[in-house]
Amino acid sequence: MARTVWDSSVGKKAVMAVSGIVMLLYLVVHMIGNLKIFFGPGEFNHYAHWLRTLGEPFMHYEWTLWLIRVVLVAAVVAHAVSAYQLSRRDLRARPSKYVHNKPRASYATRTMRWGGVILGLFIVWHLLDLTTGTVHAGGFQEGHPYQNVVDTFSTWYGNVVYIVAMLALGLHVRHGFFSAAQTLGAGSRTRNRAFRAVADVLALLLTAGFVAVPVGVMTGVVS
């Protein structure tokens, strides 16, 4: 039954919708946590330490954090694989010629695929920068996330990569949230306007919230 659902286009769209919602919830929490950087290094570093002790003493040190990571990786992989396979099906099913031109889609719709690629590459860079320190500028300091964030956004390329990715994220969320609502059967003539408004607000808040951190470093508010 699971294989039958997965093999269908409807099933893949449902997987995309559910995994997208999981990632969206994480992004909201992650953005709120990031904004703690404006309260100083003590507050931000304490928050980072708290994430590793979450669930203690029932959970061992970092177990909860690793559980969250596993769920997120599963959501990202499911989302990416289903999106790729749906895209391939769409290309195979497309006729060679159209009798009439298709209506022009919104900018977010036309850039969903490239936006997904940009975000996928950004996730890899972000982890190598602030989690493992592999590509970090200024000398990665384990246990000092505040200083690591300041180091990253003290470079022009760190700001460019992050801000471009967050703009792509905003477009992705704006289109994806509304699409997920339709896929899961929550949309209707009366509710579609509300879903579009929520999608716009979520996209704007997430973009502004994430971009506020590099802007804060560039302007000296965070230093």
3-state secondary structure of 186: coil
Whether the pLDDT of residue 196 is over 50: the answer is: yes
Can you tell me the distance from the alpha carbon of 145 to that of 164, in angstroms, rounded to the nearest whole number?
22
List, for residues 135-154, the tens digit of each pLDDT value: 998 789 988 999 999 999 99
Give residues with Cβ within 8 angstroms of 45, minimum separation 6.
Answer: 143, 144, 145, 146
pTM: 0.88
List, for residues 41-84, the tens digit of each pLDDT value: 999 999 999 999 999 999 999 999 999 999 999 999 999 999 88
Q: pLDDT band at 109, cuts 50/70/90?
A: low
Can you tell me the distance from the alpha carbon of 132 to that of 149, in angstroms, rounded to the nearest whole number?
13
Report CA-CA distances (Å) from 134 to 40, 69, 81, 171.
25, 19, 27, 29
CB 168 within 8 A of CB 156: no
